Structure 1
Amino acid sequence: MNFKFSNLLGAPYRGGNVEFKKDAVLLSPVGNRISVTDLQKSESITLPFENGRNISRIAVSPSGSLLLSIDETGRSLLVNLHTHLVLHHFSFKGPVTALKFSPDGTLFAAGVGKLLQIWRTPGFRKEFAPFQLISTLAGCHDSITCLGWSSDSRWIVAGSKDLSTKLFSVYRAPDQHAVTLSGHRDVLVGVFFAKPLLSAHDVGLYTLSRDGALFDWRYFPNADLPQADETKNHARAGRKRRMQTEKDDMDLDGQKQHKDGEQMQEEEQDMGAGRQQKTETNLITGHWRQSKKNFFMQSAKLASCDYHMGLGLLVAGFSSGVFGLYQLPDFICIHMLSISTERITTSVFNSTGNLLAFGCANLGQLLVWEWRTETQILKQQGHFFDVNCVAFSPDSQYLASGADDNKLKLWSAASGSCYVTFGEHISAITAVLFLPTNHVVVSASLDGTVRAYDLVRYRNFRTFTTPTPVQFVSLAADQSGEVICAGTLDSFQIFVWSVKTGRLLDMLSGHEGPVHGLSFSPVHEILASSSWDKTVRLWDVFEGKGNVETLTHTHDVLTLAYHPDGKQLACSTLDGQIHLWNPIDAMLMGTIEGRRDIAGGRRMGDRRTAANTSSGKCFTCLSYSADGSFLIAGGSSKFICMYDVVDQVLLRRIQITHNRSLDGVLDFLNSKNMTSAGPLDLIDDDDSDEEDGTDHQSQKRLGFGLPGTGSNKARPVVRTKSLQLCPTGRSFAAATTEGLLLYSMDDNLVFDPADFDIDVTPEAVDEALQEKRHARALILALRLNEFNLIRKCVEAVPPWEISDITRAIPPSHLGTLCTILAEFLDKSPHLEFLLQWCEELCVWHGKMLEAQQRELLPRLRSLLKRLVQRHEELAGMCSSNQYMLQFLCSGFSSNKVNGVVAMNL
């Protein structure tokens, strides 16, 4: 039962900024999690940690080793990106509206309301208080919206909602004040240093406001002021002399303290090298002037921007979905393209400046564009609304998901990327399944159609309809894939079609309520259907006998699932029970009381506590494991329950999310958040949603309004709508409010204590390897069940000894070895070597594998899945290089000439 979170698919981008790690790895917030997309490998993973609420800001250190993610309330996590482990937790005591690391990575700045806080970057070692506040800079009269660092990490500029820009010195003297740059007529969107700080005579700033104005500010030292007033020059010179005298006195005092002890040296090291060394550039004492004004001349508002200092390029995203790429300081437009019709929430360059990443929260879309070649590297868009259904392909390599946004998406289970989207349906998709041929996927929708898609040509080749308009909510196919059945919501009938001809074969009538569950027996040609009329009916579809058996319940039957051997049928009812039936004899085998297990948290609008409410205490989706040993169930709750089929007891509960931005996660609500108008979290008191980077439209799609309030937020309710176990038995998928959650089995920390004694140690494995006793080393490693040790032992075996060592492996460790070989096929380049292991394993232990089929079948399916995947990759590579291989093999053979033998290709 050791399933752990593996990946999150189909979740849309809902807001916040995106960041690049190095050049080709994109990090984006997805709810309260972080999604990492490798643009070179076309792989997408989700980091295993969770923030308390939806993430609003993220920042990656310049070295790419640290990630700082902050949620809506200001609680943050510091993560090691190499190990994906959380190092520290911290709270900023308020929402953070701007966040950025310094170029040298030693500091980071956070805009918390009107204050700008400078913090020292924590290290990798354990500390009691790792976050150390260097300084708090005040001066802004409204919330800070954007930040910009100088190249030497000594100066920082901040833009705010008060229409002004403030320039601060990180290591400022007590008498130094911030420089204020004003002139904009709208909220600041971006502030950037124009060039690296190499000389005081070439310093500039770019400030951009939401109305599309770009101001170019230039710095002039006092000596270089054009046509300066003589009196002002004398006054400034006097102040400069006084400040220089004070600085000299401070330096003398510092040197004296340094000679007296080491305390001053430690303080100076903490403050950074910028405080120790003098710099001729002082941006506070000089004069700033506005040298140029530029306007984008767009009818839409400026929503996001980013500036690449090395290339002098500026990217600007507008609320109309248009973005522009400009060369500064000449303000030359290089590209102007439209990627959508909605507001571009975030825009960012990678470190080299060749890639641009855009995020659109209203569409849930991420786009990566290479501007030099004008090519689209990535276009990722998850399901914008709730995912209703999910299905694994027979070979476990792909997943299909349908949602309320009328889209059917196909995902790669290995890479986590969506490779095709079908949009033929015009209403919500309620059911989806793969046919046994593995090349056809079928979907049912509320629009009254059932569509079949060809996964070779990626087209809708068959559409199944009914004589009168109906709404389909369930779907099933027989083992041969020749017959498709669909249950309806309104007519209470079951329609049967032929896949080959598309002709309607039969209409099964008898239910008096919506048919929400359909399933064919994996052994017999019997169709089981569940309905809200408190019955489960068994139908003989092929013989034409109609309803052959009726299983009566005391409550509405919500869903059902067949055992893999066809000798058991699990049915979930509205009272929170799971009834286990023998469908052959129509006898009740047992009942699982799951009402207490599935009980979720308290919703904001509930008048009763979570323990006393009756809503949501039932299972709406069921799925058996590959070997039929356990059953997983989910519903309108934050839990997924696992039950033992034989003993009918709860084995484990998995909480699908800890995101407090969703309704139903907390068991107890804070009474301090209750007001006369209702819960405080549901009252929308935001004055604007244009500049905060959050998606309020997507948050309002599932909530409810409170009477007596003018503007209310909506909170999606946490629930599980569909569950599907992988045919290999190593993972399962759950269609939830946040998206498509994947859980995989983790065997790295589990070992079999059989034959485990004091001599079985990693040192004994290394000693056996040194003595060339490969069989003993492998058996010891299998007993320890440590991945790295087993891999080391397998790779150390010479190819001519594989056959002898395979014979010596005990039958109890065959399953572990199959799992390890499947993992090796994904990560090891020694393909022929591993294929030889698989061959010898099947040759010498074929009868044992057949005898232990029930226990080893999921592991063998996983191994077969990896073999088929590698075969397809090599087949595609060889087919694309077919002519090159023929050319290399054609005329490059030569004989021995003058004592030199050429290579015979």
Structure 2
Amino acid sequence: MKFAYKFSNLLGTVYRNGNVLFSPDGNSVISPVGNRITIFDLKNNKSSTLPVESRFNYTTLDMSHDGYTLVAVNEEGEAHVISMVSRMIIHKLRFKKKVRALKFSPDGKHFAICKESNVFVYNIPGLQIGQFNPFCMERVFHAAIDDTTCIDWSFDSKLIAVGSKDTTTKLYSLEKLADFRVYSLGTHSDTIVGCFFEKNNYDISTISRNGYLCVWECALDPEEFTPWQPSEKRNKPADSDSDDDVDLQRALEKPAKQRDADEIVIKNDEDKRDKKNSNKKLLYKRLARHYLANELRKEHRNIILTAAAYHVDIKILVVSFSNGAFFLYEMPEVNMIHSLSISDQDITSIALNNTGDWIALACSKVGQLLVWEWQSETYAMKQQGHSNNMNCVAYSPDGQFIVTGGDDGKVKLWNTATGFCTVTFQEHASSVSGILFSHNRKFMVSSSVDGTVRAYDLTRYRNFRTLTSPRPVQFSCVAIDSSDEFLAAGGQDVFEIYLWSMKLGTLLEILAGHEGPVMSLAFSPSPASTAMASVSWDKTLRLWNAIENGSAHETVQLTADALCVAYKPDGQEVAVATLNGQISFFDTRTSDQTGNIEGKKDLGSGRSETDLITAKKSLEGKAFTSLCYTADGTCILAGGHSKNVCIYNVKESVLVKKFEITQNRSLDAVDDFINRRKMTEFGNIALVEEREENEGGNVTLRLPGVRKGDMASRSMKPEVRVFSLQFSPTGQAWTAATTEGLLIYSLDIGLVFDPFQLALGITPDTTKEALRNKNYTEALLMALKLNEKILIQQVVESISHESVALTVAGLPDVYVERILKFIAAELERTRHVHFYLIWVETILTIHGPRINSTSSMPILLTIQKNMQQKYEELTKICDFNNYTMKYIQRIGELKSTKTNEIVVTVDDDDGGDNDDDDNENEKMDTS
């Protein structure tokens, strides 16, 4: 089992906070998701998360116009320059204060950052300016009185417009101009939300938080607004050319009176030029003032304008309000084009793509991100994560889908290939406590503390069955047997297990015996077995076979309260996680304990800001709450009340690898120590909320003892933890439902050089030599021993399809599984689908009886998953081409009909006298 798992994608969360933006080509939306950045490709319908991670949540983003550089700033003011080519952080700079706005200049040479009341202009490292020093500062402006809020560049990158909380918009010049320092635009009575320059001129529009829009006209032509240049003599370098020396010599040879007269003439010319430039000042005139909130109802007049975006090419202005409504206006007449309300929450950010067809809208409170095509009034993308923590996660049997359940009562189905949510079920009225797929992939089941267990049809996407108990019970877990006929759920407030028939929907049995809340259930994965294991807070593990023996069971005493139970894939062993941080293993046939893992110290400590004890002391209360065996059953995955996920070897009871799921300090209990700067004589200053006026008003006291969902605290800081773990049936990935979202870690085969039975003389050169000599079996064996993906691909694709059967027949059994594993992974991305399917068919035909089904099941499931994915992709192409071919065929028939009509007309003109001509025409018609 290889453990070179790397973070690959983040699902379950599409937006957290900050500004969203479009890529320069307009086909992708870039969204800050906590301390990570996700890119949603709208053209290919796929999402990917950059493999970069910040120490705090990202809040401000902007991308260069060439699409190669992304600058992202987190909430603590740390700026990262990210290369979109290598997808890595190449430079860092700490501003030590919150950055509220960031904007690249149109010429691609500078970017400006707003921090407090200052504006910093930096050079972009690259070929355009000829230097590669990171964060080389060009200018600093300090004219604003209060914090700056928004920024925009003029079309020629000469002027910068900056809005601030002091209700004014300041205009700064990047270059030093004659008699120009700062120009201020007022008349607003609230914080400036947006300021936008027009195209090819200096006209500007400003929007304030109370909904007022001011349109300003500049009386100066941009061509007349030229930079001030100092006199040539003061600007000459030391190593000037010989022409300047000649001019100087001629001037010295002149008489003194003549030299004085020339200096007076030069001085007068400079004064005239300065006077001429001083007359070319920026003069702004307010053309109009509009109140954009007039379109809202009277009961919504207390709302505020939260975000604005402007497209200079098509002159479309989009504004959003705190009640979830957004309006489209045509500028500069401010004519309303469209209005829509997407939710009842604040719209945090707005972005327009390069053509102005798509509008990206993001809501922070509900974690929603949608792209609206305003001309056709349709959604190009509409995604929303769980509004609260996700409690449980499960893979589909083929690994193509992931289903999650959350505290918000929603059940969401995610596609692992695209990263998008395909369907959301909202039938539950309270938190979802358990979720799982059926083994035939036709339905899935969820349990909730609202007292229901629901089954969902994955063909029609509907809740087709709702199971309840005779008396109200809060269900804490759910399990289904291998035949998909029996369903069991455990009670949290009633200490019983309920067993239903899925076909009939009737309650078959109530299993009593536990003396505490039933925390976890699991059916044996063996096909012919209906055995079930359950654990409870009563410190017992109970083994049931309710179908054959009813309520009879065997009880195993544990050392502490049990939190989770998991079956080994062969069904002969169970693992139990207890409250004391241990994982115990038991034989299901003899009920004897076969192993034990002490994992408390592997969990890692983390001190919350509200904890009054040290991190070492709080470690004693941590434990694993989720367990999952790997596909081959040799290792077990464990996670719980910490930021660490551990993989243990079951047989040796040792830690194989530990994954740290996040380093986000915006979450609680990540660090082991509290910063000494926060400790004062009055206590921990981190417990004092710092809230702005537009974030909710007065600060309320935190409810004692509440750790999640504390609505009394507006600035709630969630605690990092792992709620659920699940290994993919293919064995190539595993996922963790965490506070950050749904993290997917996948196995990259090409990361490590891991040869298999490598012998002396086996090299890439000898492999290629054997391939040139058409010794296909020998070349394939040598490539498999080297275990290099590119070399194996070259050998496999060089073998003709006629020689596949002969090559496969000569492979030893130990190499059959390895070549099958390579083909299964290659099917996901290759274009040679038919060629690789010939390989699969030949291998299964020749070596099928000798393939171990238990160990090869993940490989076979990977093949099934990738074949299903290729089938769906080709189905769409074929359906589209089907109509195209019908159209072409119909056009051909029409052209053929016209040709026949022309031939018949020629026959009528001949009068029908010549029989030979008629026979020739009949032959032409037949052809």
- For the aligned pair, the TM-score class normalised by the smaller chain equals 0.7 to 0.9
The answer for the alignment partner of 1:841 in structure 2 is 843
Confirm or deny that 1:423 pairs with 2:426.
Answer: yes
1:552-567 residue pairs with structure 2 within 5 A? 552-567=557-572
1:306-321 residue pairs with structure 2 within 5 A? 306-321=309-324
Q: Deviations over 1:811-832 (max 9, x none)?
A: 5554443343233322222221
Aligned CA distance change for structure 1 residues 128 and 338 (closer, same or farther; 3 Å): closer
**Structure 2 length-normalised TM:** 0.86
The answer for the alignment partner of 1:496 in structure 2 is 499
Confirm or deny that 1:179 pairs with 2:177.
Answer: no
The answer for the alignment partner of 2:448 in structure 1 is 445
1:223-302 residue pairs with structure 2 within 5 A? 247-249=229-231, 251-257=232-238, 259=240, 285-296=281-292, 297=294, 298=296, 299=301, 300-302=303-305
Report the 3-state secondary structure (helix = DSSP H, G, I; strand = E; otherwise coil) of the residue aligned with 2:720. Answer: coil
Q: Deviations over 1:165-222 (max 9, x none)?
A: 111111225964111111110000011111224xxxxx30111111111111111239
**Bigger shift: 149-158 or 818-827?**
818-827
CA-based RMSD: 3.3
Report the 3-state secondary structure (helix = DSSP H, G, I; strand = E; otherwise coil) of the residue aligned with 2:693. Answer: coil
Residues in 2 aligned to 1:142 and 1:360: alpha-carbon distance in whole angstroms: 26
Q: CA deviation at 1:793?
A: 3.8
Q: CA deviation at 1:702?
A: 5.1
Give ranges in structure 1 of 5+ residues lacking alignment.
Answer: 198-202, 226-239, 262-277
1:613-628 residue pairs with structure 2 within 5 A? 613-614=618-619, 616-628=621-633
> Which amino acid counterpart does residue 383 of structure 1 have in structure 2?
H
Report the 3-state secondary structure (helix = DSSP H, G, I; strand = E; otherwise coil) of the residue aligned with 2:606. Answer: coil
The answer for the alignment partner of 1:204 in structure 2 is 203
Q: CA deviation at 1:675?
A: 3.3
Alpha-carbon contact 1:534-1:556 (below 8 Å) kept: yes
1:693-842 residue pairs with structure 2 within 5 A? 713-756=715-758, 778-807=780-809, 811-842=813-844
1:7-46 residue pairs with structure 2 within 5 A? 7-21=9-23, 22-46=25-49
> Which amino acid counterpart does residue 221 of structure 1 have in structure 2?
L
**Bigger shift: 872-881 or 795-804?**
872-881
Residues in 2 aligned to 1:648 and 1:56: alpha-carbon distance in whole angstroms: 43
The answer for the alignment partner of 1:860 in structure 2 is 860
Aligned CA distance change for structure 1 residues 4 and 284 (closer, same or farther; 3 Å): farther
> Which amino acid counterpart does residue 738 of structure 2 have in structure 1?
T
Pair member with larger Rg: 2
Residues in 1 aligned to 2:223 and 2:806: alpha-carbon distance in whole angstroms: 85
Residues in 2 aligned to 1:372 and 1:304: alpha-carbon distance in whole angstroms: 21
The answer for the alignment partner of 2:217 in structure 1 is 218
Alpha-carbon contact 1:683-1:713 (below 8 Å) kept: no
Match of 1:152 among 122, 139, 156: 156
Residues in 1 aligned to 2:195 and 2:62: alpha-carbon distance in whole angstroms: 17
Alpha-carbon contact 2:324-2:345 (below 8 Å) kept: yes
Q: CA deviation at 1:879?
A: 6.0
Match of 2:388 among 385, 388, 396: 385
Aligned CA distance change for structure 1 residues 376 and 812 (closer, same or farther; 3 Å): same
Report the 3-state secondary structure (helix = DSSP H, G, I; strand = E; otherwise coil) of the residue aligned with 1:613. Answer: helix
Residues in 1 aligned to 2:192 and 2:473: alpha-carbon distance in whole angstroms: 53
Aligned CA distance change for structure 1 residues 369 and 222 (closer, same or farther; 3 Å): closer
1:292-691 residue pairs with structure 2 within 5 A? 292-296=288-292, 297=294, 298=296, 299=301, 300-523=303-526, 524-614=529-619, 616-676=621-681, 678-689=683-694
Residues in 1 aligned to 2:279 and 2:430: alpha-carbon distance in whole angstroms: 60
> Which amino acid counterpart does residue 247 of structure 1 have in structure 2?
Q
Alpha-carbon contact 1:537-1:547 (below 8 Å) kept: no
Residues in 2 aligned to 1:359 and 1:287: alpha-carbon distance in whole angstroms: 37
Greater percentage in helix: 2
Report the 3-state secondary structure (helix = DSSP H, G, I; strand = E; otherwise coil) of the residue aligned with 1:542. Answer: helix
Q: CA deviation at 1:127?
A: 9.5
The answer for the alignment partner of 1:871 in structure 2 is 871
Alpha-carbon contact 1:325-1:334 (below 8 Å) kept: yes
The answer for the alignment partner of 1:274 in structure 2 is none
The answer for the alignment partner of 2:253 in structure 1 is none
Residues in 2 aligned to 1:283 and 1:209: alpha-carbon distance in whole angstroms: 31
User: How many aligned positions are there?
Assistant: 848
> Which amino acid counterpart does residue 347 of structure 2 have in structure 1?
I
**Bigger shift: 715-724 or 168-177?**
168-177
Alpha-carbon contact 2:405-2:411 (below 8 Å) kept: yes
> Which amino acid counterpart does residue 823 of structure 1 have in structure 2?
A
Alpha-carbon contact 1:196-1:309 (below 8 Å) kept: no
Q: CA deviation at 1:687?
A: 2.4
Report the 3-state secondary structure (helix = DSSP H, G, I; strand = E; otherwise coil) of the residue aligned with 1:543. Answer: helix
Report the 3-state secondary structure (helix = DSSP H, G, I; strand = E; otherwise coil) of the residue aligned with 2:240. Answer: helix
Residues in 1 aligned to 2:762 and 2:396: alpha-carbon distance in whole angstroms: 40
Residues in 1 aligned to 2:175 and 2:762: alpha-carbon distance in whole angstroms: 58
Q: Deviations over 1:424-480 (max 9, x none)?
A: 000000001111121111000000000111111111111101111110001011111
Q: Deviations over 1:367-425 (max 9, x none)?
A: 10111211111111000100000111111111110000010001111111100000000
Q: CA deviation at 1:282?
A: 9.7
The answer for the alignment partner of 1:80 in structure 2 is 83
Give ranges in structure 2 of 5+ residues lacking alignment.
Answer: 243-273, 901-919
Aligned CA distance change for structure 1 residues 223 and 334 (closer, same or farther; 3 Å): closer
Percent of matched pairs sharing the same residue: 40
> Which amino acid counterpart does residue 170 of structure 1 have in structure 2?
L
Alpha-carbon contact 2:605-2:618 (below 8 Å) kept: no
Q: Deviations over 1:715-772 (max 9, x none)?
A: 1011111111111111111111111111111211223334546865556666666777
> Which amino acid counterpart does residue 211 of structure 1 have in structure 2?
N
Alpha-carbon contact 2:522-2:532 (below 8 Å) kept: yes
Q: CA deviation at 1:616?
A: 4.4
The answer for the alignment partner of 1:169 in structure 2 is 173
> Which amino acid counterpart does residue 282 of structure 2 have in structure 1?
G
Q: CA deviation at 1:841?
A: 2.9
Residues in 1 aligned to 2:277 and 2:378: alpha-carbon distance in whole angstroms: 41
Match of 1:135 among 139, 143, 147: 139
Residues in 1 aligned to 2:364 and 2:501: alpha-carbon distance in whole angstroms: 42
**Structure 1 length-normalised TM:** 0.88
> Which amino acid counterpart does residue 837 of structure 1 have in structure 2?
W
Alpha-carbon contact 2:15-2:34 (below 8 Å) kept: yes
Alpha-carbon contact 1:682-1:715 (below 8 Å) kept: no
Residues in 1 aligned to 2:223 and 2:551: alpha-carbon distance in whole angstroms: 96
Residues in 2 aligned to 1:720 and 1:154: alpha-carbon distance in whole angstroms: 50
Report the 3-state secondary structure (helix = DSSP H, G, I; strand = E; otherwise coil) of the residue aligned with 1:289. Answer: strand
Residues in 2 aligned to 1:691 and 1:354: alpha-carbon distance in whole angstroms: 34
Aligned CA distance change for structure 1 residues 23 and 879 (closer, same or farther; 3 Å): closer
Match of 1:194 among 174, 178, 198: 198
Residues in 2 aligned to 1:490 and 1:820: alpha-carbon distance in whole angstroms: 49
